[in-house]
Amino acid sequence: MHRRGGDGNLLRGTLDFLLLASLEAGPLYGLRIIQDVQATTNGHFSFKEGTLYPALHRLEQRGLIRAETRPSDSGGPPRKYYHLTDSGLKELGRQRDEQRAHAAALRPYLEFA
């Protein structure tokens, strides 16, 4: 995962949060998750399928998301749609609180500049 003009190492810990948040509104398949994150963050966060699918698999193993294969709307091969489980929704809430706490802690430094 990378951010325009940023350090990818710093942002790796944000990936799970972004994926869970992307699925909060409803099930999405891989490419749509990537597009949602890019659109929602105005292109600030970007990652490729090679980053996405291992992360989705990890979240699925943890019971935070569940995958369901559905026929493609465009008549192509079936797609794997991912959606939050109840545990995933709780984890998203926890991570959202953590992100807010980090942002609040950084605020004095951001306003100083």
Give the contacts of 70 (CB within 8 A, at least 6 positions apart): 78, 79, 81
Quote the pTM value. 0.86
Mean pLDDT of 100-110: 93
pLDDT category at 20 given cuts 50, 70, 90 is very high
Tokens of 2: 């990378």
The bridge status of strand 79-84 relative to strand 65-70 is antiparallel
CA distance 3 to 43: 8
Contact by Cβ (8 Å): 33, 23: yes
What is the average per-residue pLDDT within 76-101? 96
What architecture is domain 2-112? Orthogonal Bundle (1.10)
Q: What is the pLDDT of residue 73?
A: 81
71 SS3 class: coil
**Sequence ranges of the domains in the chain:** 2-112
Residue 3 pLDDT > 70:
no
